[in-house]
Structures are given as structure tokens and as C-alpha cells.
Structure 1
Amino acid sequence: MPQPIVALVGATASGKTGLSLDLAERLGGEVVNTDAMQVYRGMDVGTAKLPEAERRGIAHHLLDVLDVTEPATVALFQEWARDAVVDIRGRGATPVLVGGSALYTRAVVDRFDFPGTDESLRRELEVELERVGGPALHARLAGVDPEAAARIEPDNGRRVVRALEVIALTGRPFSASLPRLEYADPLTVQVGVDIDRPTLDERIARRVEEMFATGFVEEVEALLARGLAEGRTAPRAIGYREVMGYLAGDRTLAEAIEQTTTATRRFARRQDSWFRKDPRIVWVAHDDPDRVAQAVAAVTAVSA
């Protein structure tokens, strides 16, 4: 029998990384990144990417696989991640997925088939996005698919365009193509890291301060020289867009720090809201000394 697939989920700064290492050690596992921005080379400080020296000798997959000028898509990531899972299980190890990108995690563990694309239609919608702006295009989406619009932020023009493209191509709501709460492989368990909001807010503030104190601005400068601003996906990362604004003279450094903290806290709330809607997740408290044992017990119960 193959090893179970373990997905560790939760808000950013909740403690997923440390727990993923503990679980991988206990289960004889390897880590598969499911953070949408950690796939980019050079996006290290701003994504809290774990340095290789701190990975305890545990193999990590899907880190540093794209340049910042290359677009990342959920469909492509799904293919990569599922291939990694097959490879890891083929060697008798346990894949431990970890990351805060809920859609990326769901694309790997759930039944989720992607509709095709039409480059001509996509370009038309992108031109319209440039002409009328994200909120106006989002309002159009709300008129034809309110459920999809409720799930997509008005300023996420790329996802709004994709939703409208799928609706035009399939004649069905975009929401109908989103993942169902049905595991692609029944030997799957999701473990969530539960953390109270005041503690999480404090952790986020500390993390952002540490990022800026340990070379975040310099990292963004180096990435701009490698084409960050021309990228389709990477420039949208929280913190990077704020630092780019600072470097362009649009805000002060203090404002960039404050705005990064606020945006990260807002994102963490969206993450928590998304994951809380999934009744299959087994939650463990971030500060429970028995959290590793509880997580291992949940995995054991699935594979029993």
C-alpha cells in the first residue's frame, strides 16, 4: 500500500514550516512546497523560504523552479506536484505538502480538472482589463457568476480574466470548475495549524520587521534587475509590490513596512476563512506540545 499524502495547511506565520519538518522526520517523508510564490528563484526573504541549511537534510520539492519573469499557473503546478507525489511514494516515502496557497493545495489533493484555454480570447480580456480596470471587470464577473466573484478579490485581475475566459469557453459558471471537496486519492489527510488571531498578528508583524531587517529591499532590487516588474505572477506577491513602490518613490520605507504587515494580516484572514470551510481538516493547536503526535495520529488513522 502506498504511503498517505499529508497536506499541512493554515495561515501564514502560523508555524506550518516547523511542523512540516517534524512530520517529515516522524513519517519518513519529503516536503512538497505548495506556496505559489516560493516556486520562484530569488524570492527568498519575502516569502520566508526555508534556507537549505535549515531543512534538516529533508528533501524539498517545487522550490526555485521558475524565474520571476515566468508565469505560474495552478494547472502547471498541479502537474508538477502530482508528479512529485508519485515519485516520492514510489520510493516508499511520505509526501508532506506544506504551504499557504489554498488553491494550490486543493489542486493537488482534490478532484480538480482544468478547462482549456484560448489565447485569443485571453488577450481580448486582458486588453479589456487594461482599459476598464480590475474592479469593473470584477463587476462584470459578478453579474454572470456571483459565486466565483465572491471568491476572487476585485484587484486580482488575472483570476478575473481566467474566470471570464472559462465561462466563455464552457458556457458554465467558473465556480463549477473549482475543486470539489473530494480527494483524488482517499489516502489523503489534511492537518491544519490552529492559531488565535492576536498571536498571529503579532507573529506577522515580527516576521515583516525581520524581513526588512535582513535584506528584503536588496532582494527586490536584485529581482527587478532580473525582470521582476515584467513578470505576470511574481510581482503580485505581498511585500514585493510594496517594496517596488518604495523603490519607485511612491511611498516611504515605513509605509512599505506598514502596508506589507497590513496586507499579510488580511491575507492570513482569507487563508483561515478558506481552510475553515473544509470539514476534512484535522486541526492542531500551534502551541500544543503534543501537536506532532496528534498530526501523526491523524495520518495513521487514514492509512490504517
Structure 2
Amino acid sequence: MRSAAPAPRVIAVVGPTAAGKSDLGVFLAQQLGGEVVNADSMQLYRGMDIGTAKLTLGERGGVPHHLLDIWDVTEPANVATYQQLARAEIDRLLAQGRTPVLVGGSGLYVRGAIDVLEFPGTDPEVRARLEGELEEHGPGALHARLAAADPEAARAILPGNGRRIVRALEVIEITGRPFTANLPSHESVYDTVQIGVDVGRPELDERITVRVDRMWEAGLIDEVRALEERGLREGRTASRALGYQQILDAFAGECTEGEARAETVRATKRFARRQDSWFRRDPRVHWLSGAMEDRAELPRQALALVERAVTA
């Protein structure tokens, strides 16, 4: 039943992978006369469907979804570009009297869409030098340098994430300020209600295991093989996506397909913990239980939360 209460300007549904964000986003959009704006960085890529749990057309319940399948797998992710695209979609929907429902677990993308956040520029020479050092010495050496220059950034960036380490060091060199000084504050651009879907760690871990198993059964290996022919291995961002990176390693003979599957489960569980930690730091997120025993009540509770926010 459609809600009679007016919706806030923007709704954001956030939380870790496998928590149930996508289905909740569809429900809220249906009830509030809205449309979904994707905030999952890997669902921006064309052809990365199974491994990113992208909703099928049937699963979208007739709700228009925006910012899916907009980049080729060879293109590197760019949060600044995403910010421009997301705000254009949000502004367009608002002008049409529609409710933008931002859905995704990519924390910086969510913040880039709805919060005051300016991205420092890039310096091709500095970037090329740092990438050369990454290639020569590996991410560990650069992460140690980052830890000395900006300990907080080093704690937030995994030692093996060379791309993000290079970007942090580049920003520090260009701006002369810590990388963390450029991270977003809790200052919103839009009147937003943020809903976090909370699932306890044991249950979430089990959901992740089941999800990965289903991805394998649905043909993830064939999806990666097809994308490899389209340049996936050369894509600096897409090739590192969970599941895709592990299967590419198997194709290269670095592990078996069974080992790739097991590592995808482990890596996804670690990633979900980092997602949860990111969103927990934001006091504006209203957390609702998405646990199995509460799942039937989650849509109703989320809708009631939105309506209370409007009338408060």
C-alpha cells in the first residue's frame, strides 16, 4: 500500500553486502513514488551482473534503476565522476517530484552523492611515479610510507590495496595535507534519511557463503571468462572486484577454481566487516534489523522510519 505521507528529499539504504539493501530499496521506491539510484561501485560496470548480485529486471519490480551498467570494465572507477552523475540523477528526480532512493554499500560513493565532499585533483606525473614505485616495490612499501605520513589513512586502507594507497599518497603530495583531511564530514547536501540494514555477523557470514555458492551455480565463471575477452584483466578497478579477481587468478593458474571460490567467501566476509565499520561511524544512519526473524517486518519499519522523519 502506498504511503500517504510525503517522502523526504532523498532516502539512502546502506549497509554491508548480503544484508538485503536492494530489495528494501525497491520496496521503498514503490511505496514512496521513487526510483533507485545505484551506489554500488561495481554495479556501475556493464556485464558484471552475477558477481555483483545486480537485480534482474524482474527483481526490480517495475522500479526504474539508474547508474547501472554505465562503464566498460576497462575504465577505472572514479568517485568524482560518479558524484556528478549521481547528483544529476537525484536533482532530476527531485525536479520531477520523484523520491530518489540511493542504494548501495560503497561508502565513499554514498557520501559523495549526498554529502559535502570535494575531490582533490590529480597530477599525472605524481600518479605515474607512484604507480611505478608500486609496480617495482609492491603495495607493502607504499603502505608503510602512508602509515608514516597519515596513520589514520593507513588504518583505513588495506596494505594490499595498491590503487587506494597510491591515491592517498598522491593527494598528500598534491595538497600538503593528510589524505584523511579530504574525507567527507557529516554535512549533507540533501535532506536525507539514511537507513542501515543490520544483520548479525554469524548470520551475515552464512548469507555470504550461500550467495557465493549461488553465484558459482549461476555461471559466474562463464561471466568472468566473457568479460576477460572484453578486457577485464586490464581494468584496474573491475579486475579487483570480489569473485572476479579470484577467478582471474584461477584462469592464470595461480589457484584452483575451488580455492578461488573459498577465497571469494573469505574476502567477501572481510569486506562486509569493513563496510559495516564505515557506516557505523556515521551517526545519521538509522539501523534496522535485517535478521531472518525480523525480515518480514523490515519494510514496514523502514517505511515508518521515513514517515516519522518527514513529520518530525
User: Do these two structures clear the TM 0.5 threshold for a shared fold by scoring above it?
Assistant: yes
* Residues 272-287 of structure 1 aligned to structure 2 (within 5 Å): 272-286=276-290, 287=292
- Tell me which of 107, 110, 121 is aligned to 1:105: 110
**Shift in Å, 1:255:** 0.6
Please say if residues 73 and 231 of structure 2, whose CA atoms lie closer than 8 Å, have aligned partners that are also in contact: yes
1:6 aligns to 2:7 (yes or no): no
1:295 aligns to 2:291 (yes or no): no
Name the CA distance, whole Å, in 1 between partners of 2:260 and 2:177. Answer: 41
Report the counterpart of residue 3 of structure 2 in structure 1: none
Name the CA distance, whole Å, in 1 between partners of 2:222 and 2:199. Answer: 31
**Shift in Å, 1:294:** 2.2
Report the counterpart of residue 197 of structure 1 in structure 2: 201
1:86 aligns to 2:109 (yes or no): no
**Structure-2 change in CA distance of 1:2 and 1:300 (3 Å):** closer
- Tell me which of 65, 68, 80 is aligned to 1:63: 68
**Shift in Å, 1:246:** 1.1
Computed over aligned residues only, the root mean square deviation of the Cα atoms, in angstroms, reads: 1.3
Q: TM-score, normalised by structure 2?
A: 0.94
Report the counterpart of residue 215 of structure 2 in structure 1: 211
**Shift in Å, 1:301:** 3.2
Name the CA distance, whole Å, in 2 between partners of 1:89 and 1:292. Answer: 23
Amino acid at match of 1:241: Q
* Residues 183-194 of structure 1 aligned to structure 2 (within 5 Å): 183-185=188-190, 187-194=191-198
Q: Secondary structure at the match of 2:209?
A: helix
Report the counterpart of residue 125 of structure 2 in structure 1: 120
Please say if residues 34 and 105 of structure 1, whose CA atoms lie closer than 8 Å, have aligned partners that are also in contact: yes
Name the CA distance, whole Å, in 1 between partners of 2:252 and 2:182. Answer: 39
Q: Secondary structure at the match of 1:140?
A: helix
- Tell me which of 257, 260, 264 is aligned to 1:260: 264
Aligned length: 303
**Shift in Å, 1:230:** 0.7
Q: Which moved more, 1:94-103 or 1:285-294?
A: 285-294
- Tell me which of 246, 250, 263 is aligned to 1:246: 250
1:21 aligns to 2:12 (yes or no): no
Question: Which runs of 5 or more residues in structure 2 are unaligned?
Answer: 1-5
Structure 1 residues 229-278: Cα deviation after superposition (integer angstroms, max 9, x where no partner): 11111001011010011112211121111000000011011111111111
Amino acid at match of 2:185: R
**Shift in Å, 1:2:** 8.6
Please say if residues 35 and 101 of structure 1, whose CA atoms lie closer than 8 Å, have aligned partners that are also in contact: yes
**Shift in Å, 1:99:** 0.8
Name the CA distance, whole Å, in 1 between partners of 2:154 and 2:36. Answer: 33
Report the counterpart of residue 172 of structure 1 in structure 2: 177
Report the counterpart of residue 149 of structure 1 in structure 2: 154
Q: Secondary structure at the match of 1:38?
A: helix
Name the CA distance, whole Å, in 1 between partners of 2:309 and 2:95. Answer: 19
Name the CA distance, whole Å, in 2 between partners of 1:148 and 1:238. Answer: 22
Paired-residue identity, % = 56
Name the CA distance, whole Å, in 2 between partners of 1:83 and 1:298. Answer: 26
Name the CA distance, whole Å, in 1 between partners of 2:267 and 2:250. Answer: 15
Name the CA distance, whole Å, in 2 between partners of 1:274 and 1:2. Answer: 26
Question: Which runs of 5 or more residues in structure 1 are unaligned?
Answer: none
**Shift in Å, 1:3:** 4.6
Q: TM-score, normalised by structure 1?
A: 0.97
**Shift in Å, 1:53:** 2.2
1:37 aligns to 2:26 (yes or no): no
Structure 1 residues 161-188: Cα deviation after superposition (integer angstroms, max 9, x where no partner): 1111111111111100001012122x11
Name the CA distance, whole Å, in 2 between partners of 1:250 and 1:114. Answer: 37
Please say if residues 142 and 149 of structure 1, whose CA atoms lie closer than 8 Å, have aligned partners that are also in contact: yes
- Tell me which of 139, 164, 176 is aligned to 1:159: 164
Structure 1 residues 111-165: Cα deviation after superposition (integer angstroms, max 9, x where no partner): 1111111111111111111111101101101101111111111111111111111
Please say if residues 186 and 282 of structure 2, whose CA atoms lie closer than 8 Å, have aligned partners that are also in contact: yes
Please say if residues 197 and 289 of structure 2, whose CA atoms lie closer than 8 Å, have aligned partners that are also in contact: yes
Q: Secondary structure at the match of 1:141?
A: helix
Name the CA distance, whole Å, in 2 between partners of 1:298 and 1:281. Answer: 11
Name the CA distance, whole Å, in 1 between partners of 2:172 and 2:79. Answer: 17
